[in-house]
Amino acid sequence: MTFDNIVLLFKKLIDVLLVWLALYYILKNLRKNVKMVLLFKGILIIVIIKIIGDWLDLTTIGYLLDYVITWGPLALIVIFQPEIRNVLEQLGRSQLLGRHKVLTVDEREKVVYEITGAMETLKKERIGALIVIERDNSLNDYIQKSKKIYADISSDLLISIFFPNNPLHDGGVIIQGDKITSAGAVFPTSDNLKISKRLGTRHRAALGISETGDCIALIVSEETGRLSIAINGELNYNLTIDDVKMILLEELRPKKSLIMEEEEDLNEEIPSDN
């Protein structure tokens, strides 16, 4: 094999890898965006109907779907412009090497202990709070527009931030790793029509930020003192403090350890030859 052939093979390999990398990040962010998932399902249904129509030789439906397929992409860009923009923003905010800091077991337990300790006090005092924990998708866009703190996590600090007389109590707190990065952050509110009208701005903001990324949003209701968690566009409502601890410990575990445990469970299920 000549040097030119090796270079050509190497270029083709890079070309394929770049395509797969782009598809991976698109699908990864698509999976975490509820609206884009619904859009993808709608497109898939149209394609299936088109295939069935051609197979059964359904002239009318085939004629209509031809127009939909021809002009559909342009219509989708216009109608779903905010959702498409959100996906592109997520790609821009994504950290290619994952979370900026992988917490050790002790650090993770301390973070959960301090957060849940604050939430328990806030629950008793009926003080509203919104705490957002960054994971793989960066929240720097929201951090830049909020009040920078960058302090070690402590329950006392979280309680003081959300105390009613504090100027920052109406916004959200952003946590990166084991640090409170900023306070007074403003997040986009969800426009999901299925959300109960009883839920206030904090719950809608928590759902909104969880729909656009993989963060964890914790809410303490000011009216009822109930605890909730929003993850991937889904709201877990009226949780106990033990429920919050378990969910946080599970969701903050490093991905590598999760993969290793799955492999260990799989190996245990496979019987040995002896």
pLDDT 10s digits, 23-47? 776 666 666 556 667 777 777 888 8
**How many beta carbons lie within 10 A of that of residue 201, not counting itself?**
14
Q: Do 237 and 112 lie in a common domain?
A: yes
Q: Do 83 and 175 lie in a common domain?
A: no
Q: Do 223 and 89 lie in a common domain?
A: no
Is 269 part of any domain? Answer: no
Is 267 part of any domain? Answer: no
* Parent domain of 192: 105-257
Reported as a single tens digit per residue, the pLDDT across 43-81 is: 788 888 888 888 888 888 877 878 777 777 777 777 667
Is 262 part of any domain? Answer: no
- For residues 248-255, give the mean pLDDT: 86
CB 217 within 8 A of CB 230: yes
pTM: 0.64
Q: Do 215 and 181 lie in a common domain?
A: yes
pLDDT of 132 reads 97
Q: Which helix (H) or strand (E) holds 12?
A: helix 3-31
Lateral strand order in the sheet of 227-231: 147-152, 179-185, 172-176, 129-133, 216-220, 227-231, 234-239
Q: Which of 255, 252, 211, 253 is nearest to 230 (CA)?
A: 211
Q: Do 74 and 116 lie in a common domain?
A: no
Q: Do 74 and 148 lie in a common domain?
A: no
Is 109 part of any domain? Answer: yes
Residue 99: pLDDT above 60?
no
Question: At 203, which CATH number?
Answer: 3.40.1700.10
Last residue within a domain, chosen from 34, 69, 93: 93
Q: Do 70 and 114 lie in a common domain?
A: no
Q: Do 128 and 24 lie in a common domain?
A: no
Is 268 part of any domain? Answer: no
Instruction: Give me the number of domains the chain comprises.
Output: 2
Q: Do 127 and 230 lie in a common domain?
A: yes
> 146-165 burial by CB neighbour count: b if 16+ within 10 A, else e?
beebeeebebebbbebbeee
Q: Do 152 and 26 lie in a common domain?
A: no
